[in-house]
Structure 1
């Protein structure tokens, strides 16, 4: 399914807010715009305009990925995603997909840390199990990019921005393997190529992961203080 950058951002923002702030979901158009242009947990950070987001919502409606709902007693229409129905993904799969959509290629360890507010994963291996399921579908929803220099884990990306032609070679190879036929040789472009990552980029990714962990710990401490009635 080929989706544009802004379509992916709108979809990812809706998926995130459903899990992280359910009390405010579905989202109004203005809330959706704010979620799209959010400064944290976004790569890249964007500056979309309201009319762009509204036009994108209409296109996603036409593709069956977004629905507009009118709540009784409210004048402002709200927006929700339909990823679970359209792509047949469960909660853990949707959590991983949302973080990939909003933040680009990541390792299983990074995904585990950054998806904590969506879904708890015991360890990176649990995330890898989800990634494998998404990769092994008839039409894969993620793909493995291999390891960059200095990295101990493979990096993964979603495939929702790909058209079907780019996915057909992988799908055909899987069909050949299941039927016992010899798969055709894949071109160099179809082979997994490690992403070239400089030491600075690797360090920045590590710092970002640690910041996400600290943010999660602060949130948990704040919740604990609230439960104990501690007031600063």
Structure 2
């Protein structure tokens, strides 16, 4: 279970935290993130499991809840609010552990070897043993475990780890039972299909860094466009005020001219 003073997160809140941890390392030039960039990161099609389609309002609600728990910090810049993560300080864990938690929040349960590969852009671990060491520390944490080693599924070579920030993890056993009861030809067919899926995922991962950067920059451009619209609106308001002031000055000048004419006639 999570730490006693940290209620379980919702899946979307966990996704938001994972995105903030990831983007802090992968796109530091645009970090802290705007809400638009954060929504794009949550709905990203690569390096996410499951893929979701959260709305801006839903992400904002998740951010607000995380702010109340001090896990997210809000800052203002150029009239647009930006958000950064505060996981390391709140959970009192090292940056290596934060990287592993973020990868689990973004991609779901994974083996230690998968975690090492998938977290490389956040933190580069020397080897799988190093990953396992930090996972063990998270699992044996005095304030409450933050990860758990799931039972190894039939046919799987390694057991997977899952985070506990959203509460206890329930592993479905029906699918595992069906896999265990499969015939040898079926297992061979499944293995071939798994190989094809792995190949497709590898190709997607190769394009992932550029796609992530593109999505982040797209969100940033959207935010800047919003800033520009706000400034145009402000300038329009000032211009309207200036036009009103100009009209008032013209009326005053007209009255002064009439007054001068009256004085001239009186003196003449």
Report the TM-score range of the alignment, normalised by the length of the smaller protein.
0.7 to 0.9
Cα drift, residue 203 of structure 1:
2.2
Secondary structure in 1 matching 2:19: helix
Distance 1:217 1:36, change over 3 A: closer
Query: What is the distance in 2 between the residues matched to 1:105 and 1:60?
Result: 22
The answer (yes or no) to whether the contact 2:46–2:208 under 8 Å persists in 1 is no
Bigger share in helix: 2
Other-structure match for 2:57 = 51
Map Cα deviations across residues 154-174 of structure 1 (whole Å, 9 max, x no partner): 200000001xxx59xxxxxxx
Residue deviations 1:122-145 (CA, integer Å, cap 9, x gap): 221111111001001020010000
Identify the residue that residue 22 of structure 1 maps to in structure 2: 28
Residue of structure 1 in register with 2:163 after alignment: 158
Paired residue for 2:194? 203
Cα distance change, pair 150–32 in 1 and its aligned pair in 2 (3 A):
same
RCO greater where, 1 or 2, for CA within 8 Å and sep 6 or more? 2
- Tell me the equivalent position of 1:40: 46
Distance 2:86 2:8 in 1: 16
Structure 2 gap ranges (5+): 1-6, 180-186, 212-268
User: Is the counterpart of residue 86 in structure 1 residue 86 in structure 2?
Assistant: no
Q: Which residue of 2 aligns with 1:186?
A: none
Is contact 2:47–2:208 with CA below 8 Å preserved after alignment? no
Which residue of structure 2 aligns with residue 68 of structure 1?
74
Question: What CA distance in whole angstroms lies between the structure 2 residues aligned with 1:45 and 1:149?
Answer: 26
Say which one has the larger Rg.
2
C-alpha displacement at 1:25, in angstroms? Answer: 0.8
Give 1:29 shift: 0.6
User: Kindly tell me: are residues 89 and 154 of structure 1, through their superposed partners in 2, closer, same or farther at Cα, counting changes over 3 Å?
Assistant: same
Match of 1:31 among 37, 43, 48: 37
Q: Which string of whole-angstrom CA distances, capped at 9 and with x for unpartnered residues, describes residues 90-118 of structure 1?
A: 11111110000011000001111101111
2:219 is matched with which residue? none
Are the counterparts in 1 of residues 24 and 31 from structure 2 also a CA contact under 8 Å?
yes
CA distance change for structure 1 residues 211 and 121 in 2, over 3 Å: closer, same or farther? farther
1:135: which partner in 2? 139
Q: In structure 2, what is the Cα distance between the partners aligned to 1:49 and 1:153? A: 36
Cα separation, partners in 2 of 1:51 and 1:217, compared to 1, 3 Å: closer
TM-score by length of 1: 0.73
- Secondary structure class of the residue paired with 1:77: strand
Say which SS state the counterpart of residue 109 (structure 1) adopts. Answer: helix
